[in-house]
């Protein structure tokens, strides 16, 4: 009788132990999923131009080495990146559509916006430039786009609500043209893919300078128009409001912001591309 009682007590003890272990494991999983512990990784939602150009591959390993924080990059158009922030699916954003970024902050989705760097947009097209835009339009992007429209020359648009797409649409609007027709292809792709399509179709497109330069050895396109003040391309960084989601790693996001705005981060941005292209692909301009 006593033996059976001891066996019963032993069985109950084992059962309680297993149950406790299961609960502990479940709770640990919950902490990791919600980011309660702060975590050692962050999600950076950014533009395809920063990814395609190679800038992030150049910067982020050093950031991780300095801080121990891994960065998971999601490269999409600026519009999609801002939507990820709005939905609480990213910790920090690096984008390039200032008016949209300011609206994002005003709506309470982000905490504060900081200038990080800039480069410029360029109109690129076939090396033979069949419209001779390069010669007569010079540094006038409006005149160049008007000529493309008038001659129904093939134009490839990002069509993805990215910063580049927003800029392109604003330029068409400025000259009173709503681009549509057989000559205008809205492809809904990132910058690298759009340049490849333009190359295949011997077409014109608007690109950021960094991505274009990073692909020079793969394409037969050239810069047609550059230097117009309207083609200025500013990048900003924003920490997503941690109230958007319990998953947000705000401390990690702030670490990245502090690092990228620091003297070291800014110096690295300025150095990127010089050894290969003889020029910086991005010009650092964080406020001191």
- SS3 readout for 13-62: HHHHHHHHHHHHHHHHHHHHHHCCCCCCEEEEEECHHHHHCCHHHHHHHH
Kind and range of the H or E run holding 257: helix 250-261
Buried-exposed string 164-197: b where 16+ CB fall within 10 A, e elsewhere: bbbbbbebbeeeeeebeeeebbeeebbbbbbbbb
> Which two three-digit tokens encode residue 92?
């920090």
Contact 195, 221 (CB under 8 A): yes
Question: What are the structural domain ranges in the chain?
Answer: 41-119+233-284, 120-231
Q: From CA 283, how far away is CA 269, in angstroms rounded?
A: 7
Radius of gyration of the chain from its Cα atoms, rounded to whole angstroms: 25
Q: From CA 75, how far away is CA 58, in angstroms rounded?
A: 15
CATH of domain 120-231: 3.40.190.10
Q: End-to-end CA distance of the chain: give it in Å, rounded.
A: 82
For 112, the 3-state DSSP assignment is strand
Q: Is the per-residue pLDDT at 1 higher than 50?
A: no
At 169-217, the pLDDT tens digits run 999 999 999 999 999 999 999 999 999 999 999 999 999 999 999 999 9
At 83-137, the pLDDT tens digits run 999 999 999 999 999 999 999 999 999 999 999 999 999 999 999 999 999 988 8
41-119+233-284: CATH superfamily? Periplasmic binding protein-like II (3.40.190.10)
Contact 109, 241 (CB under 8 A): yes
Q: Is the per-residue pLDDT at 75 higher than 50?
A: yes
Contact 233, 95 (CB under 8 A): no
For 72, the 3-state DSSP assignment is strand
Predicted local distance difference test score (pLDDT) of residue 145: 97
- Adjacent-strand bridge partners of 205: 124, 156
């Amino acid at each position: 009788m006593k033996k059976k009682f001891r066996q019963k007590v032993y069985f109950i003890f084992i059962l309680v132990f297993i149950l406790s272990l299961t609960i502990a494991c479940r709770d640990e999983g919950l902490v990791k999923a919600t980011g309660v512990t702060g975590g050692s990784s962050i999600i950076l939602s950014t533009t395809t131009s920063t990814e395609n150009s190679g800038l992030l591959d150049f910067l982020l390993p050093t950031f991780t080495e300095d801080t121990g924080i891994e960065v998971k990059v999601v490269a999409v158009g600026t519009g999609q990146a801002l939507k990820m922030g709005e939905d609480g699916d990213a910790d920090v954003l690096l984008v390039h559509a200032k008016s949209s970024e300011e609206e994002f902050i005003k709506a309470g989705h982000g905490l504060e916006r900081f200038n990080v760097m800039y480069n410029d947009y360029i109109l690129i097209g076939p090396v033979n430039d069949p419209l001779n835009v390069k010669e007569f339009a010079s540094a006038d992007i409006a005149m160049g786009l008007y000529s493309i429209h008038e001659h129904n020359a093939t134009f490839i648009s990002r069509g993805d609500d990215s910063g580049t797409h927003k800029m392109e649409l604003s330029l068409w609007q400025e000259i009173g043209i709503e681009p549509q027709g057989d000559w205008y292809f809205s492809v809904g792709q990132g910058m690298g893919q759009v340049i490849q399509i333009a190359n295949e179709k011997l077409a014109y497109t608007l690109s950021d300078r960094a991505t274009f330069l990073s692909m020079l050895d793969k394409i037969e396109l050239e810069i047609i128009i550059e230097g117009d003040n309207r083609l200025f391309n500013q990048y900003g960084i924003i920490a997503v409001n941690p109230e958007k989601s319990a998953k947000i790693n705000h401390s990690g996001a702030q670490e990245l912001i502090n690092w990228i705005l620091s003297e070291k981060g800014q110096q690295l941005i300025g150095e990127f591309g010089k050894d290969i292209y003889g020029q910086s692909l991005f010009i650092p301009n964080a406020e001191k």
